[in-house]
Amino acid sequence: MLLHQILDIDSDEIIFLSEESYAGLKNPHRSLDFLKQIAQSGKTDSEIRAISDENGHIMCLAISNPASQDFPSFWGVFTDQVARSGILTPAAGQYEKLVSRILDDCSTVTTVEASSQELDTALREYLSYALVERQLCDICDKPSETYDMVYMDSRIKRLDDLLIKIEDKFHVSGNVLEICCGNGMATLPLEKSGIFPLTIDNDRCQVCQGLEHNVLKPERTIIMDVMRLSHFFNENSFDAVIGFMLGTIYEFDKEIWTLMMSESLKVVKPGGILLFTLSKYEEMDILKRILDGLGAIGEIIDNTDASGIYDQWVYLGQK
């Protein structure tokens, strides 16, 4: 895994991250508790690998733990990478103080350098593999389904055609965020057209399915609530925000969708592309009114067909 490469440790060595999700790393209470115990224990003889960013900040510690009667040897990994991104949390300051105390009392420290983006990518990959290996679920009663059972060629072809249909107005490159990605069915045509997005969804079972079939890529996938985008990403981070078949929209839950769109607009750059699809015109009308109210400029495109189910109505616009 990428974490092994950054830390320069053997690929067969076990890495353990206390938090069970990317979102959990925003306020990493478990990690802080472990670091506090280590700091309070005084001088440690454990081997420590420290990952330093380009500014000299220690953004990750890996502490070796010898094998015991109950557990094999492993590296405990602690980081403030996510806590420092987007909206800064108090956890970042707590982490920094504890790390300073631990390093002052440590006799064996190896420092390696990496960018914060490299570490972030490695954390995403680690958590994706942990999800697929069922390390993050107490009980999984979802039966495995074959690729052909899950991914519909007809819908993928329909999205291929949509991207061709709008290609004169849909010029996307750089950093792209796909929200509500589900199992990645709509990610396939994006990648076919040369767009490789960071994919997020709050449904871990759908995300797990996409990862199992290698449709969603471990290093580019996060389980995350769209209503908290700006908590994790800096403003103006993405060149485009895309979402296919976002969900069912009603007037009574418009506030939820307003927050989702507001968060999307915060993280997309000025002039950045917005592309969303829905099933019904009534839903798209609500969504466009929300986006108009938030200052986006866009149009509704009729993409209806005889089936009347998927991606019938399209919003294409800009921040």
Judgement on whether residues 107 and 241 belong to the same structural domain of the protein: no
Average pLDDT, the chain: 95
**CATH at 289:** 3.40.50.150
Give the model's pLDDT for residue 9.
95
Judgement on whether residues 187 and 67 belong to the same structural domain of the protein: no
Residue 43: φ, ψ to 5°: -60, 135
Number of separate domains in the chain: 2
pLDDT tens column, 202-220: 999 999 999 999 999 999 9
Please, what is the end-to-end C-alpha distance for the chain in angstroms?
37
Judgement on whether residues 97 and 46 belong to the same structural domain of the protein: yes
pLDDT tens column, 39-74: 998 877 889 999 999 999 999 999 999 888 888 999
pLDDT tens column, 82-134: 999 999 999 999 999 999 999 988 878 999 999 999 999 999 999 999 999 98
In one-letter notation, the amino acid at residue 195 is I
Judgement on whether residues 166 and 106 belong to the same structural domain of the protein: no
DSSP assignments along 221-264, one per residue: EEE--GGGHHHHS-TT-EEEEEESS-----GGGHHHHHHHHHHH
Domain assignment present for 289: yes
Q: How many residues does the chain have?
A: 319
Structure tokens at 95: 């982490």
Give the model's pLDDT for residue 213.
97
- Relative to beta strand 238-243, strand 268-278 is parallel
Judgement on whether residues 72 and 163 belong to the same structural domain of the protein: no
Bridge-partner residues for 314, per DSSP? 277, 301
pLDDT score of 263 more than 90: yes
Enclosing domain of residue 194: 147-318
Q: Of the candidates 89, 105, 132, which is a domain's last residue?
A: 132
Q: Of the candidates 132, 163, 196, which is a domain's last residue?
A: 132
Give the model's pLDDT for residue 138.
75
Domain assignment present for 295: yes
